[in-house]
Amino acid sequence: MGFKLDSVSLKKQDKAILKDINLDIPIGSVFVLIGPSGSGKSSLLRLLNRLDEPTAGRILYKDQPIEFYPVQELRKEVGMLFQNPVMVGGTVKDNIALGLKLQKKDLSYEKVVGLLKRVGLEKEIIDKDASVLSGGQKQRVALARVLANDPKVLLLDEPTSALDPGAVLQVKETLIEQAKNGLTLIWVTHDMDIASEVATNGALLVSGKVVVSGNQEELFHGNNQIAQTFFKGELKESE
């Protein structure tokens, strides 16, 4: 098992964000987290690399409590891509080499070129100022930066929602490539087309609770009433 969430709850300023979540996220899956905005999808994702801690329950990763792993090691193995890619100052290469630089290591030119290729970018941009790239390019540089840490799992927090339509397609395809290479993807999205296209497994969250979870068939074609209302587009905001 990749991740196992056992009665996980999260409160912030006395507001219940997640309520008694039980989930299994298998290794090698593309696990989508869907639900109305404010349903707790991103909050759940942030628990998996310990950017936040649950207020109750426990999270297992590879059958060990998540606290068992040194947090730095966990975050290298469980990488994260955010909605808005942040480029730190410098070139594309500087950005991609950042994770290793934090560990006082160097990333060779060849490896940077390899990573650029892996995310579908031309090697000509390697010395370009990262801040002038387009949104889609930035997101793919951010992905290459995460991949440089050689992660086994990618946490994706709406990685395409801030991009223009053309870039959405490129980033989505690049991410699917990573899944084919054996990475586990845990993908928060509000885009049902993406969700149904990429998911092998997933869960629907409404108001901080898991309404339905399982493989693609169980998620999208089960007979849960709330789920069907949501897929019809009649369930917009969480209470």
Partner 1 sequence: MNNQISNLTFILSWSFIGIAMMITLWQGLKMDKDILISAIRAFLQLFVTGYLLQFVFNAESYYLTAAVLLFMTIVAGRDASKRGKGLPHAFQIVTLSIGLGEIVTLGILLLIKVISFSPSEAIPLSGMILGNSMIAASLALERLKSSMAQRKNEVEALLALGATPRQASSNALRETLRAAIIPTVDRLKTMGIVSLPGMMSGLILAGQAPTEAVKYQIIVMFMLTLTVSVTSTAIGLFAYKGYFTNYWGLKEEVIAVGSNLDKAKK
42, 27, 69: which is closest to 188 by C-alpha?
42
Q: Does 64 bind partner 1 (CB under 8 A)?
A: no
C-alpha separations of 219 from 111, 177, 234 in Å: 39, 23, 17
Residues with Cβ < 8 Å from 64, sequence gap 6 or more? Answer: none
Task: Using DSSP, state whether 202 is helix, strand or coil.
Answer: strand
Nearest approach in angstroms of CB 88 to partner 1 is 7
Instruction: Say whether residue 8 binds partner 1 (CB under 8 A).
Output: no
* Residue 82 binding partner 1, by CB under 8 A: yes
**Minimum separation from the CB atom of position 162 to partner 1 (A):** 11
When binding is defined by CB under 8 A, the residue of 2, 40, 99, 159 that contacts partner 1 is 99
Under rule CB under 8 A, residue 140 binds partner 1: no
At its nearest, how many Å lie between partner 1 and the CB of residue 238? 19
Residue 6, C-beta contacts closer than 8 angstroms, at least 6 positions apart = 22, 57, 58, 59, 60
Nearer to partner 1, 25 or 142 (CB): 142
Residue 75 binds partner 1 (CB under 8 A): yes
CA distances from residue 133 to 6, 117, 142 in whole angstroms, order as listed: 41, 16, 11
Kindly state whether residue 150 participates in binding partner 1, applying the rule CB under 8 A: no
Count of all residues that appear for the chain in the document = 239
Is there binding between residue 27 and partner 1 (CB under 8 A)?
Answer: no
Residue 229 CA, distance from chain mean position: 25
Residues that bind partner 1 (CB under 8 A): 12-13, 49-53, 67, 71-73, 75-76, 79-80, 82, 84-86, 88, 98-99, 102-103, 142, 145-146, 149
